[in-house]
Amino acid sequence: MSNRQAEIAAALEVVPPFADQAALVSEITRRKSFIKQCLRNSGLKVLVLGISGGVDSLTAGRLAQLSVEELRQESGDEAYRFIAVRLPHGTQHDEHDAQASLEFIRADQLSTVNIAASVSGLSQQMADLEPLNPAHRDFVLGNVKARIRMVAQFTIANAHNGLVIGTDHAAEAVMGFFTKFGDGACDLAPLSGLVKNQVRAIAKHLGAPDELVFKVPTADLEELSPGKPDELAHGVSYEQIDAFLHGQAVSDEAYAIIVRTYDNSQHKRQLPLVP
């Protein structure tokens, strides 16, 4: 392990590889305990999370549902509940995966907010978008979608006096692969510190179907590149990112991409600058 690998892994509080099945189960228990303690500490009883159809929201959603079920059983208070939110932009091309995720999660409550009108209404008021070339405009609007989705989730959470869950984990954090104040904004991030294969391992242990566990990850924010794989955007595979974060050898090219991207996206992982 290089010094930079060790430094970055420590900064992201990366969880070591699961030694065995017992370690995996222990980590699941720890994550549920974290979620439950966040609710207890806040004095609130509702959790909210947008479900996209990817393995990250699927895993965080199922952990949230299991956590509130345990809280209800432990406290006798039926007010604890989890609200899963669908946030499509128009018609989502992989809506069947999102619905399959919802079937697996079995949330207490489901809410659907189509963000297309909000994104369109805002973009029509933004003269700054007009001179942009199509690719740049598409990228900017992709970030608008992520931020509108988080506005919707916080609105639902506010309406029900709840907390918003985020799905960020170490393999995305190291690449800055989230929208600042978009999907990077939340009250608690129960997958933090895990690498991608650990998220998948947890999902599989919880009983998620393989087609969702091993689905090609995509943020799916760009109209010109629908379903664009995360790994294409990264320039490296999640397998290489996971290996890097766990101190294992990666190619020189992958090492350089990961370190450079981590350094360039540092501002995303910090609070606003102050004097």
**Tens digits of per-residue pLDDT, 26-41?**
999 999 999 999 999 9
Tell me the per-residue pLDDT of 99-125, one tens digit each, with 9 for 90 and over.
999 999 999 999 999 999 999 999 999
Question: Does 194 reside within a domain?
Answer: yes
Question: Does 251 reside within a domain?
Answer: no
CB 92 within 8 A of CB 53: yes
Does the pLDDT at position 228 exceed 90? no
Q: Which domain holds residue 43?
A: 18-217
Per annotation, catalytic residue among 27, 56, 220, 242: 56
Question: Does 254 reside within a domain?
Answer: no
Average pLDDT value over all residues in the chain:
95
Q: What is the mean pLDDT of residues 62-78?
A: 98
**19-28, 155-164, 227-236: least confident range:** 227-236
At 212 the pLDDT is 97
Per annotation, catalytic residue among 172, 183, 220, 242: 172
At 30 the pLDDT is 98
7 in catalytic set: no
How many domains does the chain contain in total?
1
Does the pLDDT at position 1 exceed 80? no
56 in catalytic set: yes
Does the pLDDT at position 179 exceed 90? yes
Structure tokens at 26: 């222990």
Question: Does 10 reside within a domain?
Answer: no
**pTM exceeding the 0.75 threshold for the entire prediction:** yes
Q: What is the mean pLDDT of residues 134-155?
A: 96
At 32 the pLDDT is 98
Question: Does 6 reside within a domain?
Answer: no
Question: Does 196 reside within a domain?
Answer: yes
CATH number at residue 156: 3.40.50.620
Question: Does 172 reside within a domain?
Answer: yes
Q: What is the mean pLDDT of residues 34-62?
A: 97
**Phi then psi for 81, rounded to 5 degrees?**
-160, 165
Using 50, 70 and 90 to split pLDDT, how confident is the model at 15?
A: very high
Question: Does 273 reside within a domain?
Answer: no
* Residue type for position 61: G
Beta bridge partner(s), residue 188 = 165
